[in-house]
Amino acid sequence: MTLTIDDRVSGDFHVLALTGDIDVETARILRAHIVDRFSEPASRVVVDLSGVDFMDSSGLGALVSGWQLTRDDGAFRIAGANPVVQRVLSITGMEDVFALYPTVEAATSA
């Protein structure tokens, strides 16, 4: 499985646009990338999931790791969860925990 992470800066946010699958092999890479972004001063992160075709529980775990670094201060946001990913978030109840936005633009301007 492959996962591509396009990392760019938009305003005060690092935007991590993901393409591919988030599974047991790629979740470690995603988790490390998120942690690296939060190690920078005044970091805020938006994870764009609109290009994700598949996500299992290890992918969810990587997202939870990012959320745990900030909790509810709005520094960790998720954008573009397509129906496949939205189902995982819904089944696990994480749609009530994460700050979810329909687009990256909505997440960075909120």
Q: What is the pLDDT of residue 110?
A: 84
Q: pLDDT for 42-99, tens place per residue?
A: 678 999 999 999 999 999 999 999 899 886 677 899 999 999 899 999 999 999 999 9
Tokens representing residue 45 in the block: 């992160």
Query: Closest Cα to residue 75, out of 21, 39, 102?
Result: 39
Torsion of CA 20, 39, 7, 89, to 10 degrees: 40
For 3-109, CATH number out of 3.30.1360.30, 3.60.130.10, 3.40.50.261, 3.30.750.24 equals: 3.30.750.24
Contact indicator for 31, 65 with CB cutoff of 8 Å: yes
User: b/e map of 28-37 (b: 16 or more CB within 10 Å)?
Assistant: eebbebbeeb
Whether residue 23 is predicted with pLDDT greater than 90 in this model: the reply is yes
Enumerate the domain spans of the chain.
3-109
Distance, CA of 109 to CA of 65 (rounded, Å): 23
Q: What is the pTM of this model?
A: 0.92
- The phi and psi torsions of 51 (rounded to 5 degrees) equal -100, 10
Provide the β-strand partners of residue 52: 20
